[in-house]
Amino acid sequence: MTTGELSTLDRMAVMQECITLIFRFALKNDARDADALAEMFVSDGTFRRPSTPDDPVRGREAIRQSFLNRPANKLTRHIVINPTVTVLNATEARAESYILLYTATISEGAKLPVAADAKHLLGAFEDLIVRDSDGIWKFKDRGGSLAMTIGG
């Protein structure tokens, strides 16, 4: 089925599912929920962090481990802006979005709010999102890149 065979309402539903996935990824990333993040990918999905785009992580379990291995003393807030989705067909879509990352180094027992680190990152994601066999929209390929550093 091509996008021409999808109704406007069906295309809008796919777009909303994809945008929700992109926003949920940022929230679960900041919550340090490696299990939820990994489940957002198909079993053979690929993830490339904006900070290391030439070092892809392949497979859901490897993606889970990569998120579990992050430093425990970093608080992050990912701000997602300008998500745009192109529906390719009933089971595939492409998306682009910008990401602004704020971090803070925290000590054990620190209370919020904390001072942000001096350097912030502005990057982008290009995604291939597919409807998995379970009917849920998931990342097949999520590739990040950096455009600039701010401060620091």
Arithmetic mean of pLDDT, 7-25: 98
What is the tens place of the pLDDT at every residue in 46-66? 999 999 999 999 999 999 999
Arithmetic mean of pLDDT, 82-96: 98
d(CA 56, CA 48): 5
d(CA 14, CA 130): 10
What does pLDDT average to over the chain?
A: 96
Per domain, the residue ranges of the chain are 3-150
Domain 3-150 has CATH 3.10.450.50: yes
Helix (H, G, I), strand (E, B) or coil at 76: strand
pLDDT at 146 over 90: yes
Helix residue spans in the chain (DSSP H): 8-30, 34-39, 60-68
Arithmetic mean of pLDDT, 93-109: 95
In this prediction the pTM is 0.94
Do 100 and 116 contact (CB within 8 A), yes or no? Answer: no
* pLDDT for residue 4: 65
Do 151 and 120 contact (CB within 8 A), yes or no? Answer: yes
Arithmetic mean of pLDDT, 80-102: 98
Strands 120-131 and 137-150: antiparallel
